[in-house]
Chain A
Amino acid sequence: MSASPLVEQLIEALRCLPGVGQKSAQRMAFHLLQRDRKGAAHLSQVLQAAVDRVGHCQQCRTLTEDRLCHICASSRRDHGKVCIVESPVDVQMIEHAADYDGVYFVLMGHLSPLDGMGPNEIGLDLLAKRLDEGKITEVILATNATVEGEATAHYIADMLHSRNIRVTRIAHGVPLGGELEYVNVTTLSHAFSGRKEV
C-alpha cells in the first residue's frame, strides 16, 4: 500500500534526519498526521524559523540566531580564555561537563586537506584576527582525540606560539570507571605518556 503523494513526500523528507530510515520515517509521519497535528504544526513553524534565522556567531562561529551567541555576549564569562572545539555539540558537552568560565571558538570541522578543509575553511583567519586584538591570554585546544583532531590542534598551537599565549591541550587517557584490561592500546600508551604527579 502506498500513501498519498504528500504523505509520501513527508516520509521521504523525514529520512534526511540521522538515524531515520524508511520505517521510522513512516512511523513519524503517521504519528504527526494522525495523533499530533498540533505538535506537527509547532514543529514546522519552529523548524522554518530556525532555518531562516539561525546563523553563526560572529565571534565564535557556533550556531545562533543573534549576532553573538549567549556565551560570547555574556559579561560573566572570562573573555581572555578561549576553548577551541570542532563542533557546536562539543560546546554543549563541555558546558555540561566542565566548570569552564571562558568562551569558545568552533571550527565546524577539522583540517582535512584531501577533503578541501584548509585553515580558512575552519575559520582560522577569524581566529587569527581575534588573537591579534590581544585580549586572549589562554587557549585550550579541545579538538577530538583523532589523528585529524590532533593535527588541527597542532596547527593551531603553531599559530599561537609566536604570539606568547598560553596553550593547553585537553588530556586523554583511561576513562573514569574503566579497567585497564579493556582500554584500547593506543589510549593506554597516551595515558602513560601523559601521566601526572600525585
Chain B
Amino acid sequence: MPERFEDLAYILHKRAYKESSYIIDLFTREQGVVSVVAKGAKSNKSKFYLNLQLFNMLDVAYSGRSELMTLVQADVNRSTSIAGQKNIFCGYYINELLLRLLHKHDQHPQLFDSYKQIVFALAEVDKPEPLLRRFEKTLLDEIGYGADFTCTVDGRALEDELMYVVSPGEGVMAAAPGQRSELLVSGKSLLAFAADDFSDEKTQLETKKLMRRILQHYLGDRPLKSRDLFAKTAGN
C-alpha cells in the first residue's frame, strides 16, 4: 500500500499533462515542494474541477512512492481574491522564487505560513513592495542564506549614517573607500529593513536593489521570467 499524505498546500505551478491531466508542483506545509499528477482534472466531472487554481489554499491528499505522487484529494480550504488584481504578478514572482530556490521535500512550515500571509495580503494592499521584501528575507533565512542586517560580519553594530556593502553568503561589511556605488547600502536602510520598517521610500528602493542582487547570486545566470512581466506592467 503506497503511503498517503494529507496536508495543506498551494499550487506553485501547473502544466497540462496528457489530455485531461495536470502535473502540479505543490508547496505543502509539512512536506515542502512536492510534484503530483492530478489525473483527469480538466474534466468537469473531476472531483478536482475548479479547485486547482493558483493561490487557493487547498486541503490535499496525495499518495505514491515515486518522485511524482498522485493527487487523490484537493478541496479549497480558503480562496483568495488576488486573481483579478494587479498584484497577481507578484504572486507569480514568489511562486517562481520558491520553485527555483527550494529543494523538493525540504520542509518549511514557517515559510508556508509566510506564503499564506503574503497571498492574502497581496490581495489587499496597493503597494506590494514591503510585503515582497519581507517574504524574500524570510525565504533566505529559511533556506539558510539569511544575513544579519543589524551588525557587520566582524560584530560591529550598524550606524545610520554609514554606508555598507552586503556580500551574499557572508554578510554586511563596512564600505571600503572607492567602493562601486551600486553595491552600497545605507546603514539606515539596513537597520530599517531588519526592524521591518518600510516607511521611508529610500529604504524601499535600496532594499529592492539589495535583495535583487542577493537573490541573483543564489539563482545563478538564469533570470526570473516573472520579473520580466512585472517590469513590463510597471512600465505601462
Chain A interface residues toward B at CB < 8 A: 18-19, 111, 113-116, 118-119, 146-148, 150-151, 153-155, 158-159, 162, 169, 184-187, 189
- The winner among A111, A114, A158 for most chain B CB atoms within 10 A is A114
**Of A114, A115, A118, A151, which one neighbours B88 at CB under 8 angstroms?**
A151
**Residues of B in contact, count (CB < 8 Å):** 30
- CA distance in complex: A148, B83 (Å): 8
Asked whether any CB of chain A lies closer than 8 Å to the CB of B232, the reply is yes
Q: Is B127 an interface residue (CB 8 A)?
A: no
Cα distance A162–B228 when bound, in Å?
20
CB <8 Å contact, B229 and A159: no
State the main secondary structure of chain A at its contact with B: helix
What's the minimum C-beta distance from B85 to chain A, rounded to whole angstroms?
7
What separation, in Å, do the CA atoms of A187 and B44 have in the docked complex? 14
Report the separation of the CA atoms of residues A119 and B82 in the bound assembly, to the nearest whole angstrom.
Answer: 20
Which residues of B have CB within 8 Å of A158? 86, 233, 236
Contact residue among B15, B84, B229 (Cβ-Cβ distance under 8 Å from A111): B229
Among B40-86, those with CB < 8 Å from A are 50-51, 53-56, 76, 79, 81-86
Please determine whether B233 and A155 come into contact, CB atoms closer than 8 angstroms: yes
Task: Give Cα A189–Cα B78 distance, bound, in whole angstroms.
Answer: 12
Residues in chain B near residue A154, CB distance under 8 A? 84-86, 88
A113 contacts B226, C-beta separation under 8 Å = yes
List of B residues within 8 angstroms of A115 by Cβ: 15
Query: CB within 8 A of A147: which of B88, B99, B226?
Result: B88
Q: In the complex the two chains form, is A18's CB within 8 Å of B86's CB?
A: no
Candidates B19, B50, B88, B226; contact of A150 at CB < 8 Å: B88
A-contacting residues, B201-236, CB 8 Å: 225-226, 228-229, 232-233, 236
CB contacts (< 8 Å) of A147 on chain B: these are 53-55, 82-83, 88
Q: B92 interface residue, CB < 8 Å from A? A: yes
CA distance A185 to B226 in the complex (A): 29
Can you add 7 more A-B contacts, CB < 8 Å, to A114-B99, A148-B54, A154-B84?
A: A114-B226, A118-B225, A147-B55, A147-B83, A147-B88, A155-B89, A186-B79
Question: Across the interface, do B83 and A19 meet the contact criterion of CB distance under 8 Å?
Answer: no
Which residue from chain A places its CB closest to the CB of B56 in the assembled complex? A186
A-contact bits for B84-99, CB 8 A (1 contact / 0 none): 1110110010011001
On chain A, the residues within 8 Å of B55 by CB distance are 147
User: Chain A residues near B134 (CB, 8 Å)?
Assistant: none
For B54, what are the chain A residues with a Cβ–Cβ distance below 8 Å? 147-148
B13 at the interface (CB under 8 A from A): yes
> When chains A and B are docked, how far (Å) is the Cα of A18 from the Cα of B16?
13
30 A-B pairs with CB atoms under 8 Å apart are A18-B19, A19-B19, A111-B229, A113-B92, A113-B96, A114-B13, A114-B92, A114-B99, A114-B225, A118-B225, A118-B232, A119-B229, A147-B82, A148-B54, A150-B83, A150-B84, A150-B88, A151-B92, A154-B88, A155-B89, A155-B229, A159-B236, A162-B236, A184-B50, A184-B51, A185-B76, A185-B79, A186-B56, A186-B76, A189-B79
Q: Which residue of A lies closest to B95 (CB)?
A: A114
Q: Across the interface, which residues of B come within 8 angstroms of A187, CB to CB?
A: 50
Q: Which residues of B contact A119 (CB under 8 A)?
A: 229, 232
Q: Which residues of A contact B84 (CB under 8 A)?
A: 150, 153-154, 169
Expressed in whole angstroms, the Cα–Cα distance for A18 and B82 within the complex equals: 33
Q: Whole-angstrom distance from the CB of B90 to the nearest CB of chain A?
A: 11
A146/B53 in contact, CB under 8 A: yes
A187 to B55, CA, bound (A): 15
